[in-house]
Structure 1
Amino acid sequence: MVMDSQEMIELCKQHTMYTWSAGDQVDPIPVERAEGVYFYTPEGKRFLDFNSQLMSVNIGHGHPRVIEAMHRQLQQVAYVYPGTATAVRARVARTLAELVPGDINTFFFTLGGADANENAIKAARAYTGRFKILSRYRSYHGATNACMQLTGDPRRLANEPGAPGFIKVMDPRPYDFAFGESDEEQTARNLQYLEEVIMYEGPETIAAMFVETVTGTNGVQPPPKGYLKGLKALLEKYGILLVCDEVMCGFGRTGKMFAFEHYGVVPDIVTMAKGLTSSYAPLGAMGVSDAIAEHFKSNMFWGGLTYNSHCLALSAAEASIAVMRDEKLVENAARLESVMREEMAHLKERHRSFKEGRALGLFGMVDLQKNSDGERMAPYNGSHPAMVKLGKFFRDNGLFTFVRWGSFMCNPPLCISEEQLREGFAIIDRGLEITDAAFEG
């Protein structure tokens, strides 16, 4: 059945619900096909995918090797129950054991990042015999029941009250507060503060601390120097596990296969999804250290789901990882970081509404300001008419990315070329005239 854009939109709005939205306010982009770093409407309008959809199509759209691998798997076996052993399950688990640094060699497969984190909560509690979980306010860990309470960002609020036992702490770089000017000050003061929270909560009650290795949706904030090493040492002092959520920042996004490789640490548990299959199929995973894996050899792991180790999803992961390796996409992300930073510096020179730009690999975000005091263009969990206009400008001019509060994201597929990356920033350059006009002086 061939549909034009209008029919596609009307039927989707009539018969489906959209995430994080009131249905009457949704204005979806109709998509017919996608290839590489672009996707297209039924009428042929082209969008540069400057956000890899949900920061997840890391190898780009429509890669023939992934499609062919999934087709082969469908011809063999698409699904068997989780208690079986399959060749694709064995191969992908072995590949991940080779890819993930340190002693993380055992994996539990899920359907996405949220259920990977849900199962990490269960594993941490079962392994330590403790109940409380620490996480940070500028975090997002998923939309399931427990993960909403694990999450710090405002989407948590409408889902309260939730499960007990979740303790929030300030990030080393909070939203509108500073632990210090230098990285060293931020690290030292935040860890001092965190140790006091641990004292108040009772270290013997805390199972784990979850962190996005690089904060994603809530700022694309790499940790200050020394933070992750200091955090790991502090948690080890009290027998608390470190869980790194690499759902968004993993699989090459930061110019390393896993973001924690930048910081010289290995967590006790790592969670992943998104780039694991580049979203060609739903798949997540929890990876655990050898010590935790050994515990669950003789102790029940009370977690399960119908689609655990789904063959078709695993075939997509296997092919996506192979493409990433063979086409050197992680290296491309690392190489293009300097180009993204250069383009952000150019924007700062030209636009008074530009506050700050950050990039690690091809993981980037730009913050905008409305006055020379550096006040954000939109407040925390708020909006501003100029940001609405900017989002519309991006869309009208064929640039797809997320505009959130007073910021917007720069997270293209890792296969993007330098020319295509500059094409995106040229659109942004023109668009920032809108926010410059809203600058109050």
Structure 2
Amino acid sequence: MTENLTADLDALARDLDAEHVFHSWSAQGSPPQMVIASGRGTRVWDHAGKEYLDFSSQLVNVNIGHQHPAVVAAIREQAELLTTVAPSAVNLARGEAAKRIVARAPERHSKVFFTNGGADANENAIRMARLHTGRDTVLSTYRSYHGNTGAAIVATGDWRRIPNRFARGHVHFFGPFPYRSEFWSETPEQETERALQHLRRVIESEGPASIAAILLETVPGTAGVLVPPPGYLAGVRELCDRHGIVMILDEVMAGFGRTGRWFAFDGYDVVPDLITFAKGVNSGYVPAGGVIISDEIAADFDERVFPGGLTYSGHPLAMASIVATIDAMESEGIIDHARDVGAEAIAPALTELAEKHRVIGEVRGEGVFWALDLVADPETREPLPAAEMGRIKGALVERGLLPFTADNRIHVVPPCVVTHDEVAQAAQIYDEVLGTIAV
């Protein structure tokens, strides 16, 4: 392909996008300029062949890497066999996908309700909790993101819920965040104790008998990769048990390898009632998500109709991609690799960067799920301003690194298949860019 033709394709892509595509969470007058034409593994390219190391995993979903041949082949084979089927029909691909998912879930979680993504997974989990308990209120944290559908966006804690408050019965509380504690805590243990006391008082103030569910991201992702301090999730489970509240853990971003485990909650001695998933279950190759349902809640609908459904629930192409993804993750040791590369390469590299650059206030994470909390002042922990973050993002892209940035943070979230050498390459780019920030 000639240089002129590839440049023309990039230009055509930008022109068509600017003229016809309406982008999410964006002012439409400033369309994105990066063109992604292809990818493989941890890397993507534009039409001209410029390469980027993808340390965003797009939206923290390409866990198995771009264009994994086994997953691509499975989608192709399913397309030759059956491209779509009504959700009311029985389909082998759907059953095989559900079987593989529940095999990694806790005991007595035998059923999966498939959705098109994470938002409608959370939407339907909330619906199940309300129907199971006969209650209405859902508690969730301010530092959270649960999706952009009616109840899911109102359950979200960040700014995006404010112009979208069309759903009823949602109350927010503060979860633990030792580095920026709302509770004046000095240790992780103190943060757990005080955050649980805060939640206890919210439950009491709202009326325990009115609360259907507590919805939490196991490890809040978009809010900053907030690894829960010891004992917190177990404490929430105890409060739910005491008051008959359904515990929903949102594993949409944290699940299927991101933390170096099949499910993030496997590391926190807790079993939820409902588990929502999407993203990493098939790396987003075909839109898919779902709710893993405890046997107790599933039994509610043995004779009672569940009042929810989607045309593409359990879509065959998505199901085939789930089967192939989980099988490849198992056979290739991808989950263990994510754990090991996090401990052996990412954590040391980011710790070394933090020791070198005062702009890094804190490093936190596990597996391939990390964040650099950037500060204008290390003593006051004042967040780095948005203008500086924009400059950092542009400089990273210019050097061939595709970053995930949010607020004052760089989220270090490569695919689970990232190598030690690729971590070193990214760390060098972070080092170069952060070295230009005077703090």
Category of TM-score, reference length = shorter chain:
over 0.9
Paired letter, 2:286: A
Q: Deviations over 1:138-162 (max 9, x none)?
A: 00000112111000011112223x2
- 1:408 alignment partner in structure 2: 410
- 2:175 alignment partner in structure 1: 171
On the 8 A contact 1:340/1:359 being kept in 2, the answer is no
Q: Distance in 1 between matches of 2:95 and 2:407?
A: 43
**Is 1:203 aligned with 2:208?**
yes
Alignment of 1:116-195 (within 5 A): 116-160=121-165, 162-173=166-177, 175=180, 177-195=182-200
CA positional deviation for 1:65: 0.6
Q: Deviations over 1:33-73 (max 9, x none)?
A: 10010000001100000011100000000111111111110
Q: Deviations over 1:208-237 (max 9, x none)?
A: 000000010101011110011111011110
Counterpart of 1:363 (choices 354, 363, 369) is 369
On the 8 A contact 1:355/1:374 being kept in 2, the answer is no
On the 8 A contact 1:172/1:179 being kept in 2, the answer is no
- Number of residues of Structure 1 aligned to a counterpart in Structure 2: 432
Q: Distance in 2 between matches of 1:120 and 1:214?
A: 18
| Other structure's SS at 2:190 match | helix
- 2:101 alignment partner in structure 1: 96
Paired letter, 1:159: N
CA positional deviation for 1:194: 1.0
| Other structure's SS at 1:298 match | coil
Counterpart of 2:356 (choices 350, 357, 361) is 350
CA positional deviation for 1:422: 1.1
Q: Distance in 2 between matches of 1:384 and 1:206?
A: 37
On the 8 A contact 1:35/1:60 being kept in 2, the answer is yes
Q: Distance in 2 between matches of 1:19 and 1:251?
A: 25
Q: Distance in 2 between matches of 1:384 and 1:184?
A: 32
CA pair 221-157 structure 1, distance change in 2 beyond 3 A: same
CA positional deviation for 1:372: 3.7
Counterpart of 2:313 (choices 308, 312, 316) is 308
**Structure 2: any 5+ residue segments left out of the alignment?**
none
Counterpart of 1:242 (choices 222, 242, 247) is 247
Counterpart of 1:216 (choices 197, 218, 221) is 221
Q: Distance in 2 between matches of 1:76 and 1:240?
A: 43
| Other structure's SS at 2:80 match | helix
Counterpart of 1:49 (choices 46, 54, 57) is 54
Alignment of 1:239-388 (within 5 A): 239-338=244-343, 339-378=345-384, 383-388=385-390
CA positional deviation for 1:179: 4.8
Q: Deviations over 1:257-279 (max 9, x none)?
A: 00000011110000000001111
CA positional deviation for 1:384: 3.0
Counterpart of 1:62 (choices 44, 56, 67) is 67
CA positional deviation for 1:178: 3.3
- 1:430 alignment partner in structure 2: 432
Paired letter, 1:41: D
Q: Distance in 2 between matches of 1:225 and 1:377?
A: 26
CA positional deviation for 1:377: 3.4
On the 8 A contact 1:136/1:170 being kept in 2, the answer is yes
CA positional deviation for 1:176: 5.3
Q: Distance in 1 between matches of 2:399 and 2:287?
A: 30
- 1:397 alignment partner in structure 2: 399
**Structure 1: any 5+ residue segments left out of the alignment?**
none
Once the two structures are aligned, what percentage of the paired residues are identical?
Answer: 38
Q: Aligned-residue CA RMSD in angstroms?
A: 1.4
- 2:118 alignment partner in structure 1: 113
CA positional deviation for 1:387: 1.3
Q: Distance in 2 between matches of 1:415 and 1:376?
A: 34
| Other structure's SS at 2:373 match | strand
Q: Distance in 2 between matches of 1:163 and 1:412?
A: 34
Paired letter, 1:389: R
On the 8 A contact 2:183/2:194 being kept in 1, the answer is no
Q: Distance in 2 between matches of 1:227 and 1:103?
A: 23
| Other structure's SS at 1:297 match | coil
CA positional deviation for 1:27: 2.1
Q: Distance in 2 between matches of 1:15 and 1:38?
A: 27
CA positional deviation for 1:301: 0.7
Q: Deviations over 1:237-256 (max 9, x none)?
A: 00001000000000010011
Q: Structure 1: which 4+ aligned runs deviate by more than 2 Å?
A: 174-179, 374-378
Paired letter, 1:322: D
| Other structure's SS at 2:383 match | coil
| Other structure's SS at 1:66 match | helix
